[in-house]
Structure 1
Amino acid sequence: MTTTTLKGATKMAQEANEAPARAAAQLQLNADLVRAAGERLRELAPPFAATLARGSSDQAAAFAKFLLETYAGVPTLSHAPSVGSLYQATSSRFAGVPLIAISQSGGSPDLIAAAEDAKRQGALVIAIVNVVDSPLAERADIVIPVHAGSETSVAATKSFVCTLVALAHLVAEWSQDAGLLAALGTIGDVLHNAADADWTQAVPLLRDADDMLVLGRGPTLPIAGEAALKLKETSSLHAEAFSSAEVAHGPMTLVGEGDPVLVLAPLDVARTGLRERLEDFAARGARVIAAGLPEDIAAAQLVLPMRTDVHPAAGAIAQIQSFYALAEALSLARGRNPDSPPHLNKVTRTL
């Protein structure tokens, strides 16, 4: 397959480039709503929280889990949609528990059914959606719009970035964490800077790859998951995401001479041990492509530009903003159309 689409002219690129401004506007538009939601959740003081999502939204849910557990001190589980949609077996222990349902469209039947089942058990359903008049939003107790605007490319970009910002906003207001609250005030600038960072220099190292690993840890593990998903969707490249700690427990044996490894390094304590891990990969002859603190990624064959003087959560969101331009360029270089990957639809109607 060949394509005549010019780099930067695809819907994927255009929509990804909207994300910084959309995210900054979202924070202003949602300020009162999210402040009130945070107060309500503090008063509720639930024993745990749960997320409900699929696809890219499930990677956003993993980011929410990280934030809730590390900043709000709230244990968080991933609620499998089929438990509610197929089995209708949501536990009565969900009574008084916030269920954060994440969906760009708010139209996936299984998420709607699972949210309904949880609500029957007394869960507080919080919908994080782009489409505010969607069926999922109609069933929610609290609706937090991500304000990404219309998104037509099958490969979600700005809606994912805006969802991460909305989740960080919710957790910041819930936890009243001063650092996270302050980081939100600079997120627009951080994302604009990330959009300008050129990660497309990695295309020659990835153009002919058949498979690869994408590594993250802590706040960047969900970002690695989203990056791996996008590489599958837009480039038909078999990419798998792993924790930089977990990769040593087996997957490391898959990496050898010339194999590409994309590393999205965290800016917090999760960077522990990363330098040694990348030195291991380099010694095996792997092509390590990395973004992070210079001292952590010195063994990389290619260092990707990113700001490192930012809050770790903001840094993680910035990495996916920068990555989308790489994904788009790689897709085109491999002769594919990132706006319309084969066999995929914008709204996945899983039952």
Structure 2
Amino acid sequence: MKADAFARDLEQKPATLRDLADHLDREDPWGALGSRSGPVVFLGMGSSHYAASVAAARMRARGVPAVAELASSDLLPRVDDDTTVVAVSASGGSRETLDALGRIHARAAEAGARPYVVALTNVEGSALTERADLVVPMLAGVEAGGVACRSFQHTLALLLALEDRRGGEAAGGTPISGRVRAAADAAADLLAREDDWRPAVTEALIGPDGSHLAAPARRLSSAQQSALMLREGPRVAAVGCETGDWAHVDVYLTKNTDYRLLLFGGSRWLDGVREWTDPRGTTIVSVGEDLETAAVTVRYTGDDLDDVALLSETLVPELVAARMWTAQAST
């Protein structure tokens, strides 16, 4: 992994997102699925699993039977001929995901079944593509920094396109290409004003006892991915949490540590966080929502649209991670 290259990968987000939006205008990447209407099983590890978990929950909310499983699990679901298995791996070489496909195929074969397999990957001709009936390219470009940042964002966008196909209409009435273009505008806005907000966010979020990030359940992947970026690049201790669940699992550390919390906006459970953080003077960074108790607030173009936030908001902690990592590499 390379710190400077990771930063450049992030700076290219607006351009690659606009290219993806153009591609989505021209064709449906999931068109080969035809009229398939059976269950959907997502397989992946790390950020691939984060994105797939949100996608599966959104699909279930629209009446589509869908689950996201860690490919390393020994408890993979039974599948049949009607099942679509979507294996997600940016590199196309995740050994756990390849192994899971082998196990699913073997178990299905014992029952005389064969699921339809889709490879969602960023690497053409990878091992994953050789095991798939359909390949959906992420089109995120080469991530020279070795960190799955643009590919994570493109995974989410393409899974939103699958949700629209299976759900029968575009979420919120806006075509996926429009939402991706809006995310590109959001990324461009954050990058253009980075020097105005990033130093203050870094000072507030990075503390001696680590960093914590929380997001609504419908965008939990943002907290998980952001924490991963802080761990993977500058090696900062960081944990992602769901905002409502925060009061059940993370609140305890606000009492006896220098607790630093980044809140991605839009949760109906914010009162449960404020019940404890307000009286304890917890240091909070608010992204995408005004919060009077926040030490720092970051707003950006389109942050009032939930899907734009889903596709954009991780850039805030990603840029914090990238610049910290670059500074460390230069010393």
What is the CA–CA distance in structure 2 between the aligned matches of 1:94 and 1:226, rounded to whole Å?
Answer: 32
Q: Does the aligned pair in 2 maintain the 1:168–1:180 contact within 8 Å?
A: no
1:219 to partner: Cα distance: 2.7
Q: Are 1:106 and 2:96 counterparts?
A: no
Mapped to 1, the partners of 2:50 and 2:173 lie a distance apart of: 20
Moved more, 316-325 or 189-198: 189-198
Percent identity at matched positions? 24
CA distance in 2, matches of 1:147, 1:170: 16
Task: Verify the 8 A CA contact 1:24 1:187 in the aligned structure 2.
Answer: yes
Residue number in structure 1 paired with 2:250: 251
CA contact (8 A) 1:52 1:111 kept: yes
CA contact (8 A) 2:230 2:237 kept: yes
Any idea what the Cα deviations from partners look like across 1:286-344, whole Å, max 9, x if unmatched?
A: 101011232xx3321211122356531221111013332122123345x247xxxxxxx
- Letter of the structure 2 residue corresponding to residue 15 of structure 1: D
Q: 1:149 to 1:66 in 2, by over 3 A?
A: same
Number of residue-to-residue matches in the alignment: 314
Residue from 34, 50, 53 that aligns with 2:44: 53
Cross-structure match for 2:13: 19
Given that 2:64 and 2:166 are in contact with CA atoms closer than 8 Å, whether structure 1 keeps it comes out as no
Task: Check 1:298–1:99 CA distance in 2 against 1; reply closer, same or farther (3 A cut).
Answer: farther
Cα offset, 1:228, TM superposition: 0.7
- The one of the two structures with greater contact order (alpha-carbon pairs below 8 A, sep at least 6) is 1
SS in structure 2 at match of 1:185: helix
Secondary structure of the 1:135 match is coil
Q: Is the 8 A contact 1:229 1:239 kept in 2?
A: yes
- Equivalent residue number for residue 265 of structure 1: 265
Question: Match of 2:142?
Answer: 150
Conserved in 2, the CA contact under 8 Å of 1:278 and 1:300? no
TM-score by length of 2: 0.85
Could you tell me how far 1:186 is from its partner in structure 2? 4.1
CA RMSD of aligned residues (A): 2.5
Q: Name the SS for the 1:177 alignment partner.
A: coil
Q: Would you say the 8 A contact 2:207–2:260 is kept in 1? A: no
Q: 2:287: which partner in 1?
A: 291
Bigger mean CA offset, 210-219 vs 25-34: 25-34
Question: Cα gap change, 1:21/1:279 in structure 2, threshold over 3 Å: closer, same or farther?
Answer: farther
* Superposition TM-score, scaled by structure 1 size: 0.81
Residues 212 and 239 in structure 1, CA contact (< 8 A), matched pair in contact too: yes
Structure 1's unaligned 5+ residue stretches are: 338-351
Query: Equivalent of 1:325, from 316, 319, 322?
Result: 319
Provide the C-alpha distance between the structure 2 equivalents of 1:128 and 1:183, rounded to a whole number of angstroms: 17
Deviation >6 Å, runs of 4+: none
Q: Tell me: CA distance 1:303–1:142, structure 2 relative to 1, closer, same or farther (3 Å).
A: same
Instruction: Tell me if the contact between 2:84 and 2:117 (Cα under 8 Å) persists in the aligned partners.
Output: yes
**Counterpart position of 2:111:** none
Change (3 A) 1:292 1:172: same
Instruction: Report if aligned partners of 2:57, 2:218 keep a CA contact under 8 Å in 1.
Output: yes
Closer, same or farther: CA 66–184 of 1 in aligned 2, 3 Å? farther
